[in-house]
Structure 1
Amino acid sequence: MQLQRDGGVATIVLDRPGTKNALDVEMTDELTACLRDLQRDEDVKALVLTGAGGDFCAGGDVKGMGRSGPRNPEQRRAAMTRYRELTLALLGLDKPLVAALDGVAYGAGMSMALTADIVLVSSRVRLAMVFHRIGLVPDLGAWYTLPRVVGLQRAKELVFSAREVGAEEALRMGLALEVLAPEALLPRAQAIAQSFAGASATAMSLSKKALQASLQSELPTMLDLEALAQPIAAGSEYAAEAVRRFAAKEPAQFRWPSA
């Protein structure tokens, strides 16, 4: 795994050559620890998650599991505890996470992508909930995230069939926000992340947490949360500077980059 920093943006690159960046024990633990460190780092305002070598992530390291021999229930439970911690680290980020998917995003790789706030894909991307092909069930939180992204019936179809989804279908389903040429994928992801780095960290964190809670909350609850959050956002130094800039007709600190 590689970690690159540019201003307020941290780019995490999954990098296991020869495995299409499949998750093994070491990379799972390293990624979880990295996400927790970045969450605590006040200088980091946004994150990009991508893969090296033309692929995002092939999922769990199934070949490595096979080479290690049969595992007892305790060993399997330990492995799932690792995935639980990684899932919580991903979904627990209160900073924007942009995923840039090229090549394969299979199994746990697709599950990781579902935890991102913004998902960009290359024109050659291939996504699949492949778990049923090998007699397993989705992990890394996909039972929770997938229905929230594509709806319940479509989520069932993707899980039950274990079929592959290409770039344009991913766009139509809402699995991806944009489809880009492979060479344009990472620069676009980093441009979006850099724009987030210029936004209010307070407002971004409040909005992210509220939106994540919205699908299991009722309207009165969300209105109460809104009433609590807005005074916090409005009282920030960022908001005061934004109002000053607006009144002075100066450029805004935050602007979404054009495609």
Structure 2
Amino acid sequence: MSERTVLLQKKEGVGILTLNRPQLYNAINNQLSRELLEKLTKVKEDREIRAVILTGSGKAFCSGQDLNDRSAMQKKGELISLGDSVRSRYNPLIKTMVGMEKPIIAAVNGVAAGAGASLALACDFRLITPKTKFVEAFVRIGLVPDSGSSYFLPRLVGLGRALEIAMTGRDVEAEEAVAIGLANRLVSEDQLMDEAFAFARKLAEGPTVAIGLTKQAIYKGMEGSLEEALESEAVLQERAGQTRDFLEGVQAFAEKRKPSFKGE
């Protein structure tokens, strides 16, 4: 049996997903994309997991599509439809991440290139180290951004910067990534996972139903009109107001104590 390409660890309400092809900088092949979708689905459905960390093993976060895998298929004479590959392998990953009503933190421990950059951008937060760099590498091999990069990148850094980064395919180093809003926080390399876990645990201890609904509200708010955003807020607030965490929050406020949220 082949080695697992995605590992899942559960700890104190946090699910830690680790891409596990370190010898190839966690490049994405068919097995990895399949296992990642399986693990994301498992995390989404596990009520004990209330926040998620996505990271890579070894020196890289994810170097994107495994081009050696593609080359081997071509040598065998197999026809490759890149459009079908994007639709069947990558789009379900991104949709699952965005649709998950749990916060996802990318602990970007090295290069995040191509579809690997897209995976990082699809997370809700990005913690990076001085060795991190983002590379929209698609143009380097004559392709266009996929796996959500054309959606997330301009929303994070603005239209002009997104066009420049995507069209040149240049490296975006760590300090610039934070300065332009591509990453949330720069931490030392040896503290990355500790910082990511502390952040995830803090979120996991919060009213995670409300946090998940907030994620949904923000995404909807980016796309629609003010009128649609206001109505969406009303619908989601109705749901939040029916949770036990809301009752606990109000009671804790009245009693001047720290609330004990259960994610219910």
1:79 aligns with 2:85: yes
1:59 aligns with 2:64: yes
1:229 aligns with 2:236: yes
Paired residue type of 2:36: L
Query: 1:26 maps to which residue?
Result: 31
1:43 aligns with 2:29: no
1:8 aligns with 2:13: yes
Residue 73 of structure 1 deviates from its aligned partner by 5.0
- The change in CA–CA distance for 1:77 and 1:225 in structure 2 (over 3 A counts) is closer
Query: 1:208 maps to which residue?
Result: 215
Query: 2:151 maps to which residue?
Result: 144
Query: 2:225 maps to which residue?
Result: 218
1:196-234 alpha-carbon deviations (Å, 9 max, x no partner): 111112211211111011111111211112222223212
Report sequence identity in percent: 35
Residue 29 of structure 1 deviates from its aligned partner by 0.6
1:107 aligns with 2:107: no
Report the Cα distance in structure 1 between the residues aligned to 2:84 and 2:257, rounded to whole angstroms: 54
Report the Cα distance in structure 2 between the residues aligned to 1:201 and 1:35, rounded to whole angstroms: 17
User: Can you give the 5+ residue segments of structure 1 that lack an aligned partner in the other structure?
Assistant: 255-259
User: Can you give the 5+ residue segments of structure 2 that lack an aligned partner in the other structure?
Assistant: 1-5
Residue 239 of structure 1 deviates from its aligned partner by 1.2
Q: How does 1:118-157 map to 2 (within 5 A)?
A: 118-157=125-164
Given the two structures, how large is their TM-score scaled by the length of structure 1? 0.93
- The change in CA–CA distance for 1:101 and 1:144 in structure 2 (over 3 A counts) is same
What CA RMSD, in Å, does the superposition of the two structures yield over aligned residues? 1.6
Report the Cα distance in structure 1 between the residues aligned to 2:99 and 2:244, rounded to whole angstroms: 25
